[in-house]
Structures are given as C-alpha cells and as structure tokens.
Structure 1
Amino acid sequence: MILATQRLDSATYEKIFEISKRILAQMNLDRLLDLILDEAILLSGAERGFIVLNKPEGIEVQSARNMDKESLKKARDKVSMAIVKEVTQTQQAVLTLDAGEDAKLRDSESVHRMKLRSILCVPLKSGEEIQGVLYLDNRFASGVFQESHAHIVSVFADQASLGIAHASLLEENRRRQKELENNQKVILRLNKALEEKVADQAHELEKARLMLEAQELNAPRADRYEEIIGEAHVMKEVLKTLDRIIDSDVTVYIHGESGTGKELIARALHFNGLRRNHIYVSTNCASYSETLLESELFGHVRGAFTGAEKDKKGIFEYADGGTVFLDEVADMSPGMQAKLLRVLQEGEIRPLGSNRSAKVNVRIISASNKDLGELVKQGKFRKDLFYRLNVVRLDLPALRDRKTDIPKLVDHFMKKNKMGIPPNFLFIEPSALKALMTYDWPGNIRELENEVNRAMVMGKGSITRDLLSDGVREKYEFEEEMLRDLNLDRQVSGFEKRIVERALLEAQGNKVKASKLLGISRFTLHQKIRQLQIEAPKRRVTPEEVAQALKECKGNKALAARKLGIQRQTLYHKLDRFGESEE
C-alpha cells in the first residue's frame, strides 16, 4: 500500500521534535542507529526494526533491534529484500497489513519463508539521495500498522536521515583521521629506519629543511611590514625604531605583554635585515626544563641524559649565520643565563655532555612579558646578561593603549581568515566594532584575533554585536546605557543598585554574606535595599543548615538567625515547619 500525504497534529510533531534533538546530539553512528530503531519501535508499536543502508558494496542491514531494545543477529535473513528494493526504487513508504495475503507480495519467497505479517517500510533520504530504509514489522499479528503510524514514522524518518547523514560524515572523518594517523605511524617508522641508515647526513638534512623554511618566509620588506598593523602614535614610534635598526646586526630585546606581537616584530627584523637569506629559528624558553632547554639551544651528545640516544645539534648551530629568537627569556634559570652570556660574549656554544666548544655566528633577538630591569634589581636576572641583550629595546604597547588600530586589525583578521567568503561580503556591524573598541583586551592582539575568528565562524562572515563574547559585549552595553542618561544621581543610584543586586545574587539571598562582599554592615545593606527598591532574592534555608547553625551557636536562635542571614521570626517559622523543638 503506497500512502497519501497527511498532516500530523502538533503534539505528535512536538514529540518527534524532542526525539530529533536526541538523535542530532548522538555523534556515534552505531549508537545513533540503535536509538533511531528504539524510538521508531516505540512510535509504531512494532515488534522489530531494521535500518538497511545503501553501501558501495550493496544493500546492508546496519542495525536490527527488537521491542526489548536488544540487538538481533543474522539480521539480513529476517528482512524482506523485495520490500526493501521496492521502497528504495520508488522512494515511497510501503505499508502491508498482512504480507502473506498481500497480492503484491504473494509470490515473494522471503515473505512466506519468514512468515511475515504486518510490515511498514519507509525511505531514509538525504536530499534527493536515498540512504536506505527504515523497516518495521510484526510477525505475530496482522493490521498492527495503520496509515497514521506510517505518516508518523515517515516524518520521523526524515529527521533520522539528517542524523544519519551527520553521524556518517563524522564517522568518515574519524576513519580518515585514523587512517591518517596510521599512515603517519608508518611514515615515522620509515623515517626512523632512514635516520639509522643515513645518521651521518641527518644534521645536513635538518639544516636544509630550516633553510627551505626561511626561503619560504623570506618575502620583500613591504610584504613583511604589511603584517604589522599599526597607525596609532605608539606603534608608529615602534616602527620608526624598527626602520633605524633593520639594516644593522644589533642585539634587540622586545618587551610587551602576552599577545602583543613580539615574534611578529622579531620576524620582521630577520626577514628584512642583513641575515634574511639565512635561517631564522625561534623557541620559547618557558616551555622547557633547564636540561631540555640547554639541549634545545646548544644540542647534546649521546648519553648526555636519559633518552639522548644520539647526538643532536642545537638551534644555535642550525641557525649559524642567521637569527635565534628567544621568547620569554626572563624564565631562564641562573645556570642557563650564564651559558647564554657565554654565547653573546665569546660566540661559542658547548653541547650538553660534551667537552668541545663550537663557534657560532648568530644574531640574538630576545623577548619577555616581564620587566628584565626590575628582575635585575630583584637579583633574579644577571645584570651582565641584561646589558648584552638590552642593546636596543623595543616596547610593544598593549592593545588597550592603541585602540585606534582595532578597526584595521579587525579588517585584517577578517580578510586573513575569510573562510572562502569574498572580501566584499565580509561585514561587521558598527555597534559590534564599537564594542570591540570599548573592551580592554587583557590578551591583546591574540585575544582580539580569536574573538574575530569565533564571531566570523558563528556569523558566517558577518559579525554582529550579539555574536561577541559576554565580556566584550557587556562593557559596551553598560557604557551605552550610562551615556543615555547623564543625570549623576540616577547613574550613581543605578550603579549602586546593580552592585547590591549582584552581591545578593552571589550570596544566594544571604544578607550577612552579601554585606561582607560589599564591605558594609548588615544594617546599611537593609537600608540600601529599601532605598533602592531592590527585591532581594529569597533565602532558601534547608533543615540541615538550620540544624548546623543552631549547633554552632549552641542553641542561641538570635545568633543562628543572624548567621543564616534571616529574621529571627523567620527562623521560628522554619523551626515549626521543620518540626524542630525550640528547647
């Protein structure tokens, strides 16, 4: 029986909608198919259910369940393939009240062999493509499924198809990821074998790799400067200093908060300077222990420490003739500071565990978000090393000190991460840009870029204020609200009211805790609640809290009420309600 379209009542749609939310939340394909069958059996009253999917190798039963939510074995032998093929070809649901008596199925060998009775089979479609079928049956009773069941299951199947398509895509991605990981493991094994055969060439190969990376990054000066976005006066001063030293070989120290672009400046110094045709290597000194940092910078010989199975060159040897950028140099241990000083003074390095020294010719650019001068005063950083590193100092301003650059930075990040969207279709709402310029950006440019990227993803290329993070949006909205009313008394009262309300909310209505948070007395808090017409959240006190307060106050109800942040009369009422004795 091929069915005509009918409308479902709102309650049924709502039920299917709730089921659909669970389906779309399930990312594992096998568990999803079981969930779809369990829900379909409940919706239709079927005895069994099967999901049959089209695969490149042919039709395959992917999941089979019974009304007890148990999986069925040898599922393919339990399904009428004649019905499956008909639904797959016509893309129309098929309902039979009694398969044994159905004229269309009378000649079907599988129907008689399996003694099938009531059958409902609906297509699973993704757009115009048929994914497979949802097959429900009952072997013991005829007429189990009516047209109403067929329509409900058909609507449900449309939602289930979306879930299957989504989960299948995720599973395929996981399969490919696994395949990629396996391939990477094979490559690693091959690389290891290759390294063992050509150990004598390993250092030269690494040097060649770094040289290739340097050549890829080595663009004309104009291109490198284009990545440094800055029209604010403080940034222009930085760029002026950069221009003065770009053609020299002077040691440079870059100071700035995290996320201000210290490595971007270091790259500009190298790739536009005298050493542009040589290797540039960067490392973060805070990421290593002292031993590993020494190995990273100066290399090591075999057996220098546990795991040192062969000789390894350090980045100073790899970058010989080029530039080494040492980020977070302030986090170096005193021992490492002494060894770095030797490089700056003598131009020599000594690999960890070795008694030989090697001459190197590198330019050192260092950076930190800490004040090296202050650390010198505290005795935490060597004065002689400080003077060697701090020949030229570049102070990078925090983003909050150059907010006029935010529009250009936002435009740069939107074009840089446009996700395939044509530049003329990228859009940012004026109020969203104002909100970005109002926020203080403790994470600086890195935080701004992350915020822009997240909003672009959420808005598919269009950034509106509602897509911004709460912290970014709230400060702008608060200032906008204040600017709408310039009456000082009303603004002060409004601000005071918000602070008191927030303290009460934090304290869950406990006025004693709220007054402590505000740094005022409980009497003053009660006055402000009345004056500012604040509706304080009701303090919900549990019997356990009452018992604990009375115990701590040794039965003194006045002290217990004060501790709980409620009136004494309220405590009496609660004692009566909780059945506690006043004695």
Structure 2
Amino acid sequence: AEQGPPVSLLGNKLNALLEVSRAVHAIRDLGELQARILRQLFEIVPAQRGAILLRGDASTEFASTFTLDRHTHSAPIKISRTVTRRVVEEAVAILASNVPSGEFKSVDSIVLSHVRSLLCVPLTVHERAIGCVYLDTRDFTAPFRQDHLELVAAVAGISAMALENARHLAWLEQENQRLAMEVHLDHNLVGDSSRMRELIQLLARVAPTDSTVLIEGESGTGKELAARAIHRNSPRADKPFVAINCAAIPESLLESELFGHEKGAFTGAITQRKGRLELANEGVVFLDEVGELAPQLQAKLLRVLQEREIERVGGSRPIPVDLRVIAATNRNLLDAVKAGSFRNDLYYRLNVVGLTMPALRERRADIPMLAEYFVTKRAARFHLRHKTIAPEAMARLMSYDWPGNVRELENAIERALVLGVSDVIGADEVPGGSARGPVLTQGQVPKYHTAIKELKRQMITAALEQAGGSYTEAARRLGIHPNYLHRLIRNLALRPTLRRTA
C-alpha cells in the first residue's frame, strides 16, 4: 500500500494551519498579519523568500506588496510580475519545481535572482482574486513539491478574507484621520460645494507641513483666507503671520519694507528698521500679488527661499530667518515666466505646493450660503436689523457672473443692508440679470465684461478727479480699500491714462 506522509510532518502542517487560523482572527493590522502568514509558511515550506501582493479595489495592478526574507527578515526582494500577474488574472496556482529547465527559464527577473524553485497561489474573495501569495528558493537541494503547493493554497484560502478585512480597516482608519483633520481645520472659508470641499481637504493636508505654498486665483476669491487657514492649522500657529501686498507698496519702498534697512542706508533712514521677513521669523510670511515683484526683488526673494537668510538694505551681514513662505497671485505666473517678467527658478521655488482658489461663478452652489453669512456678519457689524433675502433676489445673485468674486458679493450684500428700507432684500437691490432670466450665454460674456471694465475705468477716473488725485480719498469715495483701488488700476491698465490726465 502507498505510504502517506510521516505523522510528524502532517502534524506540523496541521499546526501551521491552526496558527494561521488563530492569527487571522486575532490580528487586525495588515502588515502584522502579512508577516505572521509568511513566517508560518516558512515553518512548513522550504522557501527562502516570500511575498503577499494585493490588488487595488478597481484595478488589475498591485496596490501593495509585502515581502519577507527568511534570514534577513527585512531586505526588499524582487518578484516576477510575469508569474504574479498570470496567477491573479487567470486565478490559477503555479508551481515551478525546477525553474532553470521549466517554462520560466527565460524570464529575466527570475533568472537574475537565481531562483531554482517557486510557487504562487491566488488569494480569492467571492470568486475574485484580490492578490496572491508568492514563495521562492535558491536552494536546488530543496525544491517545492505538489504537497507544498496544496498547503500554501489552503493557507491562502484561510487568509484571503482576513487580509481583505484588514486592508479595508486600514483604509477606514486613514479616511477617519483625513475627515477628522478636515472637521477640525480652523478656517473662515464659507461653502460646501465640491470645489470647496476639495480645497479644504487639500488645506488640511498642506497645513501641518512646512512646505512653501503658491495660491493662485482671481481677485476676491479668498487667497489670504486660505493662507491664514494654513497658518492657523500649522505647527507655527502661535507664531507671527505677516502679510504684505507686493502691489500696494511703491517699488522704491518695497525692498526696505520686505528686508528692512540699517541706519543711514538712505536719506530718511534715521534708525535701523526690521523688515517684514525678519518680523515673521519662526512664523509665516504671506506675499500677496507676488507676481508684481521687480526683477531685483525676485532675486533677493529667491535667496531667502534657498539660503533662509536676509540682508537689510545698507547692511553687509546675512541674518538667518526661520519662516514659512506662502505666496499668492491673480496672474498666470507661468505666462509671466514665458514672457520673461518672472524668474523661472523663483516660480518653481514658490510652487512647491500649488493651490487654486475657485472663482465664485465656478461654485454657484455656495452663493446662498455666502449671502446668508454676509447678511448675518454685516448686520451685526453695523448694528442693523437682520434681513431675509427674497427668492427673486437670490435668483439674481445666482445668475450674476461675479467678476469681483466673493468680495463683490460681500459688498453687494452690505450695500443692500445699508440702503434697503424694508426687512427683505429685494431683487432690485442686488446685482444680476433678470430674476427669471438665464445665466449669460458664452456669446454674451465678452461684451458684458467689456462694458463692466469700461464702467470701472470711468468710475475710478471720476473718483480720482474729485479727490484731487488722492488715492486714499478716491478709494473712500468708491467704498473700497486703497490696496484694492491700486489693484484695479493695474488690472485695468489705467496708469498711462491717469499719468496723461495728471
């Protein structure tokens, strides 16, 4: 009669299966579970190296690979993708007892690794191969046999669902951490549209790091709010946040404002003065409208990013600074780089992490929430009665294109609160087209924007004439901040016109 396997060998196999069964019920950590399974296989199969490969949820590619060497326990190993892909795609087990003379003798990854014997079995859950278990050896005196393949297949059958559950648990833990960060992210950004949720998720990932950030977006989209959110949720939250608008300060003064100056550096420098970059030491500096920096200042800012040191105007010694730089622009800096007005090396130093603030017209779903928020905020600030927004007025707000974005919406709500005589904000008190009319079609938009720009030019020119050339007074008459007036003048290319009329 045919002899069965020795009792001791059979006992070892049963013990191994029992240990794997215990492990899959007791271990929840994916890495720990994979290590335990491979170590148990090493007890009953003469393998020198092993791996567990798991596919992505909706992919044929492997999302994770866990490897183990019997002797070194940690060294990474090369695995034949030819073998593993075939096992997973065809859901078949492979046994190659003598690799040099078998079907895999021409597979480079196997030949170069001097593999003499290998086996690979699928991990199957609900008739779908979620991955595979791979073992090999370089020892020609201990080749793999059919009973080894059957035993590994049995272990894979016990382990597959546990591995899938452990992987799902790991994903849930990561998702919980991400959501917790998102929920606890301290910010003043209002909106629940998909674009805003994506932005807040990105802010939650960026804030804890110390990476330089470049925030792009149109005027009025909330770039400074995003910068402040990054600061408040970073390790530097209790350190200074220093903001400077590079477009609002004359070029002749901006270098001293940024870098400071020594006593006697120029006429009027009667004392030493620290610049904004030095004042932001250990904290965050926010450079708004960074695209407006002159070439000389671009070079100096590049040195700050590279060397983390500054030099005051009129000074001769470098001063080390420890700061995080967040820059913002409403220009397309890549176009500026191509045009030669912005340094290529500075652009890439600033754009380590890039964020784009969506325009309000790209997130119209947030307009009702923003409008209600501004009604509450402005009514409280100016001690006015809280007003409701009529449905017709909300329809107009939703249909308007908002070239000034969130800032324009806030100003529109404030104007309606201050000038309105009833407890309801009506359709005639807010900007927009017909309450029943459609959003402007694409063919109408260029004409519309042309008219808006021309109206802005006329209003700014008239305000400056009435103010006798005073930008501060003109801004007061227009009801806007002087910095925003300077930005409008630049964006509307009004400076040559204003010089001619001066």
| Structure with larger Rg | 1
Relative contact order, CA 8 A, sep 6+: which one is greater? 2
Greater helix share, 1 or 2?
1
- What TM-score does the superposition give when structure 2 sets the normalisation length? 0.49
